[in-house]
Amino acid sequence: MNYRAFWVLESGDIEVIDQTVLPFQYKTVVIQTPVEAARAIRNMTVRGAGTIGSIAAFGVYMAARNSGGDPERMRSEARMIRESRPTAINLMWAVDRVLAATGNLSGQELIERSRTEAMLISDEDRDRTAMIGQFGFELMKRILEEKGKDTIEVLTHCNAGWLGIVDSGTALAPIYEAKRRGVNVHVWVDETRPRNQGSLTSWELSREHIPHTLITDNAGGELMRGGRVDIVFVGADRVVRNGDTANKIGTYLKALAARDNDVPFYVALPTSTFDLDTPNGYDIPIEERNEREVLFVRGLAESGEIQEVRIVPEGIRAFNPAFDITPARLITGLITEKGVIPAREEEIVKMFRG
Ligand code: MRU
């Protein structure tokens, strides 16, 4: 298995899978300019912390290229890309990293160096997510041995698979690893209203023939109470210094249910998703998206067209926070490419030092 949500064309442009029409249509879009890169991030043509970071990095390269290697113009477009979504730290991290790598360069050198750095970011994600898969798989194996079961029941929220980060995802990486090693897994996939990223997870798992069942966002607690979940894996958009974690709205409620039912709750993330400059979760900016995402549902009509249907009468208002914060105390552990650590400041800082 080796999948990417985007790839680099010979021209240096990038082609991305349009995640706004998945799982109903497979369509790709070519991004050629920094403005297009920022737009694709903002309107969620591309999404998921890692993928956002990679596209942002290529967007900075395009800014360098399209300006003919003018560092001032590149920096101003980089600022615009950096602001395209507020919560996933990979976005700011990737933009800053390309800018730092290009230092005082200009002209052709600037263009080439920014391209190399953007390539490096996504190649490193590939290696990091492979390691996350290994470490997460060990946790699953231990649970299977302890419980004497032959199928592990995993619950996941949102989509933290290869659509969200090169190559095997974060929360889904251990599941893909289990499949590779012939271990039986069944996944409870949260629908993840309002944008239904669970349908992306189902699409990914179906392609790999991994048994899974889509559930409503409210079903997880009851499944955990009934002993039908062995472990929860979620991804992250930002993990701050004390271990508090921003992830897709609804993650916090799953963590509460997991704690109340003694179900291990793990957050899987590459080190590029940590934000050590922010002390705790209160300071993480939470994206608020358009109320339309709540007031309408989107799906495939019998005609074969993707349609939006209003679910409440006109005039009703909605509030649509896209992420929530899971306090570190509810997290059993953080699965990173460097190993599994407790969600505690001293452990996080130690990992970065070591
Ligand atoms: O709004 P989205 O779809 O970009 O949110 C994605 C998530 O919350 C994922 O869980 C997270 O980015 C991890 S993807 C590797």
Give residue 354's pLDDT.
83
**Residue nearest atom 5 in ligand 1 by C-alpha distance:** 48
Q: What is the pLDDT of residue 1?
A: 53
**3-state SS string over the chain?**
CCECCEEECCCCCEEEECCCCCCCCCCEEEECCHHHHHHHHHCCCCCCHHHHHHHHHHHHHHHHHHCCCCHHHHHHHHHHHHCCCCCCHHHHHHHHHHHHHHCCCCHHHHHHHHHHHHHHHHHHHHHHHHHHHHHHHHHHHHHHHHHCCCEEEEEECCCCCCCCCCECCCCCHHHHHHHHCCCEEEEEEECCCCCCHHHHHHHHHHHCCCCEEEECCCCHHHHHHCCCCCEEEECCCEEECCCCEEEECCHHHHHHHHHHCCCCEEEECCHHHEECCCCCHHHCCCCECCCHHHHEEEEECCCCCEEEEECCCCCCCCCCECEEEECHHHCCEEEECCEEECCCHHHHHHHHHC
pLDDT single digits (tens) 124-180: 999 999 999 999 999 999 999 999 999 999 999 999 999 999 999 999 999 999 999
For a mutational test of ligand 1's pocket, the pick from 159, 195, 325, i.e. the residue with the most ligand atoms closer than 8 A to its C-beta, is 159
Is residue 234 a contact partner of residue 157, using CB atoms and an 8 Å limit? yes
Report which ligand 1 atom has the smallest distance to the Cα of 88. Answer: 12
Residue 33 CA to ligand 1 centre (angstroms): 24
Residue nearest to atom 10 of ligand 1 (CA): 235
**pLDDT (tens digit, 9 = 90+) per residue, 323-342?**
999 999 999 999 999 999 99
- Region 264-273: mean pLDDT is 98
State the pTM of this model.
0.97
CB-count exposure of residue 10 (10 Å: 0-12, 13-18, 19+): exposed
In the structure, what pLDDT confidence band is assigned to residue 2 with cuts at 50, 70 and 90? low
Q: Identify the bridge partners of residue 340 per DSSP, sorted by sequence position.
A: 335
pLDDT single digits (tens) 56-74: 999 999 999 999 999 999 9
Distance 81 CA to ligand 1 centre (A): 18
Tokens of 130: 């492979």
- pLDDT above 80 (res 95): yes
Rounded CA separation 111/50 (Å): 22
Beta bridge partners of 29: 16
Q: Tell me whether residue 237 is one of the annotated catalytic residues.
A: yes
Question: Ligand 1 centroid vs 41 CA: distance in angstroms?
Answer: 12
pLDDT at 350: 98
Give the model confidence (pLDDT) of 30-51 as tens digits. Answer: 999 999 999 999 999 999 999 9
Q: Tell me the pairing of strands 6-8 and 333-336.
A: unpaired
> pLDDT of 225-251, one tens digit each?
999 999 999 999 999 999 999 999 999
Residue 240, beta-bridge partner list: 275
Q: What mean pLDDT do residues 74-102 have? A: 98
Q: Tell me the mean pLDDT in the region 198-227.
A: 98
**How far does the centroid of ligand 1 lie from the alpha carbon of residue 75, in Å?**
26
Q: Tell me whether the omega of the peptide bond preceding residue 285 falls within 30 degrees of 0, making it cis.
A: no
Q: Which of 141, 230, 149 is nearest to 188 (CA)?
A: 230
pLDDT band at 283 (very low <50, low <70, confident <90, very high): very high
For 150-159, write each residue's pLDDT tens digit: 999 999 999 9
- Ligand 1 neighbours (beta carbon < 6 A): 47-50, 88, 158, 160, 164-165, 169-170, 197, 235-237, 247-248, 322
Ligand 1 centre to CA of 49 (Å) is 5
> Out of 125, 167, 190, 237, which one is annotated catalytic?
237
Q: Which atom of ligand 1 is nearest to the CA of 157?
A: 10
Residue 3 — very low, low, confident or very high, per pLDDT cuts 50/70/90? Answer: confident
Q: What distance in Å separates the CA atoms of residue 223 and residue 73, rounded to the nearest whole number?
A: 53
Q: Calculate the average pLDDT of the chain.
A: 97
